[in-house]
């Protein structure tokens, strides 16, 4: 029973997340004068030594030190040696979205027979309503310099309406820049009902666009006629579509592979939609089309090749190569083909991975200034807020980051982040692989405790220097620990939990003390405490 | 020739992801040419210019710089055509409902399906790739060329008929599957009834639109006219009525084939071909009279009850009775040995070599409406060609080269060369590894 | 008294022998004028093959034909020994989708007690069809997971199962996991290797040995308790004694290597089946001296890395490595296609004579019945096929088939249905 509860806690990352301890909220801070910093406004040439004045959440002025005078009431921030950039924009994430609770269906007999039904039609779901900001997540984004995110939900075909947030605290009402931003559409399928295949999904999309048009026409006829026409039946599904398909508010198509991109381009053309493409980690393969279509492109930095890809059908060797070399070159190839784009973390689970993959994209040939544009001014324009964010200009929202060294570099780090003029100081330098303080190799036992229960677990570590691998086992199976590092006494590791058919990436971070390991396991939408004790030798 | 090799560093994969340009020039020399429609030419040449066959004959001179294939001792045949497959798709059935003519397999093409390469290795250059047989009315099919390495939109054959998949019998009845919900229909009665129902609905739908158009055009009416709802499902069936689309119907039993022919006449749409048609030999007369073809397995049978009378003589016998017969694979494995199946039609049914070859070339082309561009070696048709080391109907034969529109998409000699190089390189690497360890 | 009984019995035997030989004077049949392909030895153009009752009496050119012999003029035809399908489900499965007609797989993982010949249906429609294509004997094997049962060698003629069985059991069948293939957009399941299965098998074989020893000891000493009867262990006793070979269905190169090690360690007589990736470990197989039976060549390679012709070149590579092999149909409905798997390999480089041997004499050798079948030689059972061409060619027509010296009726469901509906018009 206990186990079951814990199980459901782990997989059903649910709404039960109420005890957030974030206290800081969006507020108008003091007036700041950032002095002696290098300024990269993105929209204008670099200023080697300058001043930025932030007042009332906006950039009041900026310029070379000689030109800008510092207001009396300003709190001066000495930024010698730091570089100021506009806050980065992640134009597609599923941040703060908790995975919907999966209904566990009692299957009697054959597991093949599932009664599960999901319509996949959620155009009226407002992401703003379902999201739950979480301090640790915000911090992790601040740490890599991201101040603004577009949050969308992933489940379904019509996955809902996204919201553009400024990460200025934990009160979502104060974070909103634009709500809703767009209707999001995925080329996925429903479950148990039509459509069960992507060809059905395409038919559904085309039919629903036609229906929205018809619904709209009928309604306007009805209004025009005044009387004599039977009133149209209210249809919440089509009601939700009309603003996007008829009034041409933006639609974002989530594209898992190159065929999805072509599907989206076809629909955009056929129904004259105002649309953006997201995902698109195979975009370089259809660069010609994208160049012609001139559709805003939100390129995901998820480098996992899609299942349909030629690179996963021709052997393991090529598959690995694809993830390591071919897909990371997407952005750089697009740039070479003259296609403009924004970069997003869509499909990635953590902010750190986002930064890591930005670096990989740079390694694969993307010029740094392009990467910077793709995370600032391009997304700002695509999201229709080019006048508000995306560059350092007087009058724009004060989303500013101060970086030691150059942005995106391994050695450099984000020191201070201003969002809506609110200052966030970064806690401590990122953990850069110190030598391990002790050896934790061997068997450990303990419990995972979360809001819904406890789970017995056994962990076996293997250690080489400060690198940690191993396995974590529980009633739900044995999962492999990868990417572990023991830096001093700080232990971090990642493992992929496979529960039922779902894979969930979980990260642990905590401390090691002699025979005790304590810390937190983070998973999409929640966390749990993990405590481990060294198992006595030769115990089974 | 523009031959870009992507990622030459990935040595192994080099073999398979070579990209070619389209509409090439090529001269094939000194082959035994089996034209299929115009007999055999010993030591003949075929000249392809811009992807189109320009000349077939003897001693054709190659213009300067033209690529030449020496086919001495080899057999040159038109590219094989598979009239019924499900390859190059990322979906099979829209299984959620029984009637789904609005779905199009063109929306789920996957040009990176390795089955395309497999098809090439068996000399196949063109396939009809179809919606599955789970629904009485399935989806809209498509004809593709096996241009491996090319994007999906470039492999579509636009000259072909637009076809809609129908299915009768055990599959639409869901006889052999576990399904979460019991779906109507569950009997052959239901299958026919539901098809009739949908066509009647479509008729009604068309009438609605006609009335609307009429009313709109008559100047008398001053009332606001609301257009009817555009319904893609009904539109697809309306296209059947309009003759813009024709039926390909999955059916095994003789009786259900006859009933479907009756139904198509009653409702007024055209059926061009029955798929599998295991029992066609029982009703060869009717099929011949109605001029409806069949696309069959040569001898794959008895895997289910409705295939229990699927005798190997079916194709040969029906051919002799004047029915247009093609052999299909319906499989990403059988697709590479359709020529072996054709040879069996000589044993089972006593067909001549030429008639047997037709089963996999011109006959399927006729069924697909692509006979003007493919299916035989004739001047003016596409340069889609397969070259075999032995007579293609010999059991010892092997496809050595497959050409589409003058371009070589599969070349066994090249494959062997690259494989050998790769193996050598791998062996060297291993040697190095071992050496390093010591 | 005793003496009288003995004399009486001897008399009875003598009389019965006399009656028997009276009734059955030898029947001779001579096939004349055809090209004889004995498989072992050179082809004999315009040769004679003399059948005495159910046996081949003589094969050659200068053979005196007894005057009473029935003479078959086979001018222009080719004479082959009947082919042997080295693994199939013929007689065990009628219609694939119809569970009620499928009897070659049982539930459960450990089923050494199963004997396929006990489920044989002599009336299966698939038997006459395969026979009409020149196949005269077949190994009917079980399928399933891990230990699947005992196969038997049958001839494709007989009114009862017993009349059909040539030898049973032939092997104890074991199945290792296959490499799961990727399907559409779903990700491949993690690769499973055979190590777990091998561990499990080792444990079982160990138990069998204890069981055998316990039984032996109990037989010698009355006071020792006899081990409780266990059908699995009992059935496996001939395996650990190396009396009965195991036929291991194994596919991936790694697994083949592991299987070689396993049979060596356990000192088992072994045959491998499937072996799609054997060409990667051909040397190991050659050294181990384990014969293999290929699954149908109408199959796809296990992995893309195997190359498109991985399945086809497998026999070519194994032949070079000195591995003995046979082809199989692994089917009931398409068992008739056996010869074409052999010619497919020949299309990709296998010597044509070897291909023919691998559907005739090699399977006979592998199953230990080469003394009585597998070639056209004096003293072997008269399983003979007359064809108008190369028997491995699809285009070739099979004209006559003899099993045990009896000429077979070549009509079958195909021809019967065809004839029936020919009458329609």
pLDDT tens-digit readout, A73-101: 999 999 999 999 999 999 999 888 876 55
pLDDT at C180 over 70: no
**Cα angle, residue A137 at apex, residues A132 and A143 outer, rounded to 5°:** 150
CB contact under 8 A, A318 and B12: yes
State whether residue B417 sits within 8 Å of chain C by CB: no
pLDDT at A11 over 70: no
Q: How far apart are CA A250 and CA A71, in angstroms?
A: 41
Least confident of A204-213, A216-225, B96-105, B259-268: A216-225
The tokens for B366 are 């006729």
The C-alpha of B438 sits at a distance from chain C's nearest C-alpha, in angstroms, of: 24
Look-up of token digits 């690995």: A320
For residue B344, give the H/E element and its range.
helix B338-347
Does A113 contact B16 at a Cβ distance shorter than 8 Å? no
Distance from the Cα of A260 to chain C's closest Cα (Å) equals 13
- Taking an 8 Å cut-off on Cβ atoms, the answer to whether B152 and A200 are in contact is no
CA distance A202 to A192: 17
* B407-418 CB burial, b ≥16 within 10 A, e <16: bbbbbbeebeeb
The pLDDT tens digits of the residues spanning A119-169 come to 999 999 999 999 989 888 999 999 999 999 999 998 999 999 999 999 998
Q: Are residues B90 and A198, on separate chains, in Cβ contact within 8 Å?
A: yes
Task: Please judge whether C95 and B305 are an interchain contact, meaning their C-beta atoms are less than 8 angstroms apart.
Answer: yes
Q: In this complex, which of A307, A314, A315 lies closest to C185 when CB atoms are compared?
A: A307
| pLDDT at position A475 | 78
User: How many Å lie between the alpha carbon of B382 and the closest alpha carbon of chain A?
Assistant: 27
- Locate the chain B residue with the closest alpha carbon to A265: B107
Cα–Cα nearest to A290, from A322, A248, A267, A258: A258
If you average pLDDT over every residue of chain A, what do you get?
A: 86
Contact by Cβ (8 Å): A161, A185: no
User: Burial level of C379, CB count in 10 A (0-12/13-18/19+)?
Assistant: exposed
Q: Which residue do the tokens 């577009």 mark?
A: A150
Residues of B with CB under 8 A from a CB of A: 7, 10, 12-13, 16-17, 90-97, 100, 102-105, 107-110, 112-114, 131, 139, 151-153, 178-181, 223-224, 226-227, 229-233
Query: Searching chain A, which residue's CA lies closest to the CA of residue C303?
Result: A315
**Could you give the 3-state DSSP secondary structure of residue C284?**
helix
Closest residue on chain A to B180 (Cα):
A113
CB within 8 Å: A315 and C305: yes
Nearest chain C CA: its distance from A192 CA (Å): 18
End-to-end distance of chain A based on CA atoms, in angstroms? 24
- H-state helical runs in C221-273: 231-240, 253-265
Q: State whether C418 and B317 contact (CB < 8 Å).
A: yes
For residue B37, the SS3 value is coil
For chain B, the maximum distance between any two Cα atoms, rounded to a whole number of angstroms, is: 98
Distance from CA of B105 to the nearest CA of C (A): 14
pLDDT tens across the length of chain B (438 residues) = 333 333 333 333 333 333 333 588 999 999 999 999 999 999 999 999 999 999 999 999 988 889 999 999 999 999 999 999 999 999 999 999 999 999 999 999 999 999 999 999 999 999 999 999 999 999 999 999 999 999 999 999 999 999 999 999 999 998 887 666 788 999 999 999 999 999 999 999 999 999 999 988 887 656 678 899 999 999 999 999 999 999 999 999 999 999 999 999 999 999 999 999 999 999 999 999 999 999 999 999 999 999 999 999 999 999 999 999 999 999 999 999 999 999 999 999 999 999 999 999 999 999 999 999 999 999 999 999 999 999 999 999 999 999 999 999 999 999 999 999 999 998 999 888 887 554
The vertex-A39 CA angle with A35 and A44, nearest 5°, equals 135
pLDDT above 90: residue A473: no
Reference B84, options B154, B155, B172, B166; nearest CA is B166
C299: chain B residues, CB-CB within 8 Å: 333
Flag whether the ipTM exceeds 0.95: no
Q: Which of C179, C183, C185 to mutate to test the interface with A (most CBs of A within 10 A)?
A: C185
Collapsed DSSP state (helix, strand, coil) of residue A322? helix
Rounded average pLDDT over A47-54:
96
| pLDDT for the residue numbered A435 | 77
Comparing CA positions, the residue from B404, B368, B411, B430 lying closest to residue B79 is B404
**What pLDDT, on the 0 to 100 scale, is given for residue B13?**
38
> Going by DSSP bridges, is the β-strand pair C135-140/C146-155 parallel, antiparallel, or unpaired?
antiparallel
Phi, psi of C407 (to 5 degrees): -75, 135
Q: What pLDDT is attached to residue B386?
A: 98
> What is the per-residue pLDDT across C121-177, written as a single tens digit (0 to 9) for each?
999 999 999 999 999 999 999 999 899 999 999 999 999 999 999 999 999 999 987
pLDDT of residue A19: 28
Residue C176 phi/psi, 5-degree rounding, is -95, 160
pLDDT of residue A24: 37
Chain B environment of A191 (Cβ under 8 Å): none
| β-pairing verdict for A146-151 and A88-93 | parallel
Contact residues, chain C, for B311 at CB < 8 Å = 413-414, 417-418
CA of A482: how far to CAs of A227, A463, A467, A511, in Å?
68, 12, 9, 17
- Rounded CA-CA distance A80/A62 in Å is 16
- How sure is the predictor about C5, in pLDDT bands with cuts at 50, 70 and 90? low
Decide: helix, strand or coil at residue B141.
Answer: coil
Q: How far apart are the first and last CA of chain C?
A: 76
Best B302, B314, B398, B409 member to test C by mutation, with max C CBs in 10 Å, is: B302
Most A CBs within 10 A among B9, B16, B93, B103, hence the mutation to make, goes to B103
| Spatial CA neighbour of C125 closest among A276, A434, B302, A463 | B302
Distance linking the first and last C-alpha atoms of chain B: 47
Instruction: Round to whole Å and give the CA distance between C294 and C314.
Output: 9
The chain B residue lying nearest A192, using CA atoms, is: B96
The whole-angstrom separation of Cα A264 and Cα A201 is 12
Residues 110..149 of B with a Cβ closer than 8 Å to C: which?
114, 117-118, 121
Q: How far apart are CA A39 and CA A47, in angstroms?
A: 5
Helices A135-143 + A351-363 axis angle, to 10: 20
Q: Choose among C184, C186, C304: nearest Cβ to A315.
A: C304
Q: CA distances (Å), C422 to each of A480, B283, C412, in order?
A: 66, 10, 15
Give the highest mean pLDDT range of A32-46, A104-118, B218-232.
A32-46
Question: C303 and A317 in contact by Cβ < 8 A?
Answer: no
Which three-class secondary structure state does DSSP give residue B40? strand
| DSSP code for B156 | B
For position A518, what pLDDT does the model report?
86
Read off the pLDDT band of A3 (50, 70, 90): very low
In sequence order, which ranges of A314-374 are alpha helices (DSSP H)?
316-321, 330-336, 351-363, 368-374
Question: According to the model, what pLDDT value does residue C211 have?
Answer: 96
Q: Say which DSSP state C132 is in.
A: T
Above 60 in pLDDT, residue A104? no
Residues 6+ apart with CB under 8 A from B431: none
Q: How far is C306 from chain A (nearest CA, A)?
A: 9
Other CB atoms within 10 Å distance of the CB of residue B14: 16
**Residue in B17, B96, B226 closest to A195 by CB:** B96
8 Å CB contact of C339 and B395:
yes
Q: Token pair for residue B35? A: 């034209």
Which pLDDT band, with edges at 50, 70 and 90, does A113 fall under? very low
User: Percentages helix, strand, coil for chain B, rounded to the nearest 5?
Assistant: 35, 25, 45
Pairing of β C384-387 and β C398-403: antiparallel
Nearest CA-CA distance, residue B415 and chain C, Å: 9
Q: What is the pLDDT of residue A62?
A: 95
Note whether A428 and A197 are within 8 A (CB). no
CB contact under 8 A, B309 and C340: no
DSSP E strand boundaries for C1-96 = 28-36, 44-52, 55-60, 70-73, 78-81, 83-88
Quick check: B304 and C97 CB within 8 A? yes
pLDDT tens for each residue of C19-72: 555 556 899 999 999 999 999 999 999 999 999 999 999 999 999 999 999 999
Q: What is the pLDDT of residue A345?
A: 96
A490 vs A506: CA distance, rounded Å: 17
Could you give the CA distance from residue C182 to residue C322 in angstroms, rounded to a whole number?
33
Here the tokens at position B199 are: 């066509």
- 3-state per-residue secondary structure call for A278-314: EECCCHHHHHHHHHHHCCCEEEECCCCCCCCCCCCCC
Backbone angles phi, psi at A486, to 5 degrees: -115, 100
Short-list B166, B176, B181, CA closest to B249: B166
The pLDDT, as a whole number, for residue A237 is: 96
How many Å lie between the alpha carbon of B106 and the closest alpha carbon of chain A?
8
Determine the Cα–Cα distance for residues B198 and B267; give it in Å rounded to an integer. Answer: 10
Alpha-carbon distance of A514 to A101, in angstroms, equals 38
User: CA A225, A229, A231, A233 torsion: positive or negative?
Assistant: negative
A44 pLDDT more than 90: yes
Give the distance from CA B347 to its chain's centroid: 25
Q: Measure the CA–CA gap between B318 and B297, rounded to whole angstroms.
A: 13
Contacts of B175 in chain C (CB under 8 A): 97
Instruction: Tell me how far apart the alpha carbons of residues A398 and A28 are, in angstroms, rounded to a whole number.
Output: 11
CA distance A369 to chain B (A): 26
Give C113's Cβ-side CA count (13 Å radius): 9
Q: Which residues of B touch C343 (CB under 8 A)?
A: 395-396
Question: What local confidence, expressed as pLDDT, does residue A7 receive?
Answer: 45
Mean pLDDT within A493-513 = 77
**Secondary structure class of B429 (helix, strand, coil):** helix
A232: which DSSP letter? P
For residues A495-523, average pLDDT: 78
* CA atoms C386, C388, C391, C396: torsion sign: negative
Q: Which of A319-328, C6-15, C223-232 has the highest mean pLDDT?
A: A319-328
Q: How confident is the model over C99-126, as pLDDT tens digits?
A: 999 999 999 999 999 999 999 999 999 9
Separation between Cα atoms, residue C273 and residue C283, nearest integer Å: 17
């Amino acid at each position: 029973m206990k186990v079951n509860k814990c199980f459901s806690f782990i997989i059903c990352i649910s709404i039960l997340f109420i005890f957030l301890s974030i206290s800081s909220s969006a507020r108008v801070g003091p007036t700041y004068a950032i002095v002696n910093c290098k300024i990269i406004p993105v929209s204008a040439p670099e200023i080697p030594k300058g001043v930025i004045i932030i007042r009332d959440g906006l950039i009041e002025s900026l310029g070379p030190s000689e030109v800008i005078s510092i207001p009396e009431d300003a709190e001066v921030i000495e930024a010698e040696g730091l570089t100021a950039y506009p806050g980065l924009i992640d134009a597609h994430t599923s941040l703060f979205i908790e995975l919907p609770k999966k209904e566990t269906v009692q299957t009697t007999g054959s597991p093949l027979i599932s009664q599960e039904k999901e319509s996949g039609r959620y155009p009226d779901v407002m992401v703003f309503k379902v999201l739950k900001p979480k301090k640790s997540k915000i911090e992790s984004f601040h740490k890599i310099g991201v101040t603004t995110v577009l949050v969308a939900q992933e489940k379904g075909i019509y996955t809902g309406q996204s919201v553009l947030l400024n990460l200025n605290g934990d009160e979502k009402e104060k974070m909103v820049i634009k709500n809703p931003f767009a209707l999001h559409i995925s080329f996925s399928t429903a479950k148990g009902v039509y459509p069960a295949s992507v060809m059905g999904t395409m038919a559904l999309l085309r039919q629903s666009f036609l229906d929205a048009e018809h619904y709209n026409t009928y309604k306007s006829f009805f209004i025009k006629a005044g009387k004599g026409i039977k009133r149209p039946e209210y249809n919440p599904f089509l009601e939700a579509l009309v603003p996007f398909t008829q009034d041409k508010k933006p639609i974002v198509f989530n594209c898992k592979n190159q065929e999805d991109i072509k599907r989206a381009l076809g629909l955009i053309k056929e129904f004259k939609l105002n649309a953006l493409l997201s995902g698109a980690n195979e975009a370089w393969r259809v660069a010609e089309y994208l160049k012609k279509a001139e559709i805003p492109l939100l390129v995901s930095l998820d480098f996992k090749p899609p299942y349909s890809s030629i690179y996963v059908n021709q052997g393991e060797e090529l598959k690995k190569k694809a993830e390591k070399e071919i897909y990371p070159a997407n952005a750089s190839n697009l740039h070479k083909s003259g296609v403009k784009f924004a970069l997003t973390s869509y499909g990635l689970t953590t902010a750190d991975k986002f930064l890591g993959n930005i670096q990989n994209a740079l390694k694969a040939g993307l010029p740094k200034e392009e990467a910077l544009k793709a995370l600032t001014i391009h997304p700002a324009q695509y999201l229709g807020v080019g006048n508000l964010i995306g560059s350092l200009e007087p009058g724009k929202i004060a989303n500013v980051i101060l970086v030691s060294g150059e942005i995106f570099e391994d050695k450099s780090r984000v020191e201070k982040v201003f969002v809506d003029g609110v200052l966030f100081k970064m806690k401590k330098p990122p953990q850069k692989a110190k030598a391990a303080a002790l050896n934790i190799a061997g068997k450990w036992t303990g419990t995972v405790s979360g809001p819904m229960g406890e789970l017995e677990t056994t962990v076996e570590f293997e250690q080489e220097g400060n690198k940690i691998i191993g396995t974590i086992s529980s009633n739900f199976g044995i999962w492999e620990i990868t990417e572990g590092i023991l830096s001093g006494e700080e232990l971090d590791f990642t493992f992929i939990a496979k529960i039922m058919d779902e894979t969930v990436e979980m990260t642990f971070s905590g401390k090691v003390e002699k025979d005790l390991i304590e810390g937190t396991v983070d998973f999409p939408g929640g966390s749990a405490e993990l405590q481990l004790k060294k198992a006595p030798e030769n115990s089974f | 020739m523009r031959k870009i090799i992507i990622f030459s560093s990935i040595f192994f994969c080099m073999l398979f992801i070579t990209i070619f340009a389209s509409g090439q020039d090529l001269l094939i020399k000194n082959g035994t040419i089996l034209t299929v429609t115009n007999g055999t030419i010993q030591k003949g040449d075929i000249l392809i210019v811009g992807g189109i066959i320009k000349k077939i004959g003897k001693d054709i001179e190659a213009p300067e710089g033209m690529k030449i294939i020496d086919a001495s001792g080899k057999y040159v045949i038109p590219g094989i055509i598979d009239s019924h497959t499900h390859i190059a798709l990322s979906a099979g059935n829209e299984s959620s409902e029984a009637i789904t003519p609005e779905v199009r397999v063109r929306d789920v093409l996957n040009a990176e399906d390795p089955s395309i390469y497999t098809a090439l290795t068996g000399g196949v250059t063109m396939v009809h790739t179809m919606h599955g047989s789970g629904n009485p009315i399935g989806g809209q099919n498509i004809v593709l060329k096996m241009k491996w390495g090319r994007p999906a939109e470039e492999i579509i054959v636009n000259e072909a008929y637009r076809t809609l998949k129908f299915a009768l019998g055990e599959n639409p009845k869901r006889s052999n599957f576990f399904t979460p919900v019991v779906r109507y229909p569950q009997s052959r009665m239901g299958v026919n009834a539901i098809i009739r129902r949908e066509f009647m609905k479509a008729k009604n739908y068309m009438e609605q639109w006609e009335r609307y158009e009429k009313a709109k055009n008559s100047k008398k009416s001053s009332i606001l006219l609301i257009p009817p709802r555009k319904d893609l499902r009904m539109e697809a069936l309306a296209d059947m009525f309009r003759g813009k689309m024709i039926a390909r119907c999955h059916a095994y039993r003789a009786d259900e084939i006859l009933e479907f022919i009756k139904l198509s006449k009653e409702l007024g749409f055209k059926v061009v071909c029955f798929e599998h048609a295991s029992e066609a030999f029982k009703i060869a007369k009717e099929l011949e009279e109605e001029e409806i073809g069949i696309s069959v397995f040569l001898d794959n049978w008895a895997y289910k009850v409705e295939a229990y009378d699927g005798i190997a003589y079916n194709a040969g016998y029906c051919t002799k009775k004047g029915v247009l017969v093609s052999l299909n694979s319906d499989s990403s494995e059988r697709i590479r040995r359709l020529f072996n199946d054709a040879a069996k039609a000589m044993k089972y049914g006593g067909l001549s070599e030429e008639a047997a070859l037709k089963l996999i070339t011109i006959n399927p082309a006729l069924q697909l409406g692509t006979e003007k561009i493919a299916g035989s070696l004739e001047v003016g048709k596409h340069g889609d060609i397969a070259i075999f080391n032995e007579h293609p109907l010999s059991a010892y034969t092997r496809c050595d080269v497959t050409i589409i529109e003058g371009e070589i998409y599969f070349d066994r000699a090249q494959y062997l060369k690259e494989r050998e190089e790769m193996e050598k390189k791998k062996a060297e690497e291993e040697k190095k590894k071992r050496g390093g360890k010591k | 008294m005793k003496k009288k009984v003995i004399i009486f019995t001897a008399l009875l035997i003598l009389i019965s022998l006399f009656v028997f030989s009276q009734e059955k004077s030898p029947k001779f049949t001579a096939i004349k004028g055809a090209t004889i392909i004995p498989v072992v030895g050179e082809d004999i153009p315009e040769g004679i093959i003399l059948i005495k009752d159910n046996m081949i009496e003589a094969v050659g050119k200068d053979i005196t034909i007894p005057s009473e012999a029935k003479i078959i003029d086979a001018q222009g035809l080719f004479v082959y020994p009947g082919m042997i399908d080295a693994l199939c489900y013929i007689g065990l499965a009628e219609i694939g989708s119809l569970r009620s007609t499928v009897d070659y797989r049982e539930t459960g993982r450990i089923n050494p007690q199963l004997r396929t010949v006990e489920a044989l249906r002599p009336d299966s429609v698939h038997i006459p069809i395969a026979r009409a294509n020149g196949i005269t004997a077949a190994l009917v094997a079980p399928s399933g997971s891990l230990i699947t049962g005992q196969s038997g060698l049958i001839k494709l003629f007989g009114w009862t199962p017993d009349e059909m069985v040539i030898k049973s059991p032939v092997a104890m069948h074991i199945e290792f996991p296959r490499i799961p293939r990727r399907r559409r957009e779903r990700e491949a399941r993690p690769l499973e290797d055979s190590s777990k299965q091998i561990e499990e098998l080792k444990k079982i074989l160990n138990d069998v040995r204890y069981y055998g020893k316990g039984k032996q000891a109990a037989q010698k000493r009355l006071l020792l308790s006899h081990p409780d009867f266990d059908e699995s262990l009992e059935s496996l006793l001939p395996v650990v004694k190396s009396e009965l070979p195991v036929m291991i269905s194994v596919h991936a190169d790694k697994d083949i290597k592991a299987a070689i090690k396993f049979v060596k360690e356990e000192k088992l007589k072994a045959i491998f089946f499937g072996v799609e990736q054997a060409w990667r470990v051909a040397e190991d197989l050659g050294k181990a001296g384990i014969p293999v039976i290929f699954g149908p060549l109408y199959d796809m390679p296990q992995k893309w890395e195997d190359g498109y012709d991985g399945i086809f070149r497998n026999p070519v590579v194994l032949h070079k490595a000195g591995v003995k092999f046979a082809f199989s149909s692994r089917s009931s409905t398409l068992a008739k296609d056996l010869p074409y798997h052999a010619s497919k390999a020949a299309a990709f480089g296998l010597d044509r004579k070897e291909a023919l041997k691998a559907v005739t004499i090699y399977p006979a050798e592998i199953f230990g019945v080469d003394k009585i079948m597998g070639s056209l030689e004096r003293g072997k059972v008269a399983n003979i096929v007359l064809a108008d061409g190369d028997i491995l060619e699809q285009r070739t027509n099979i004209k006559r088939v003899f099993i045990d010296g009896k000429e077979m009726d070549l009509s079958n469901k195909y021809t019967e249905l065809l004839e029936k509906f020919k009458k329609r018009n």
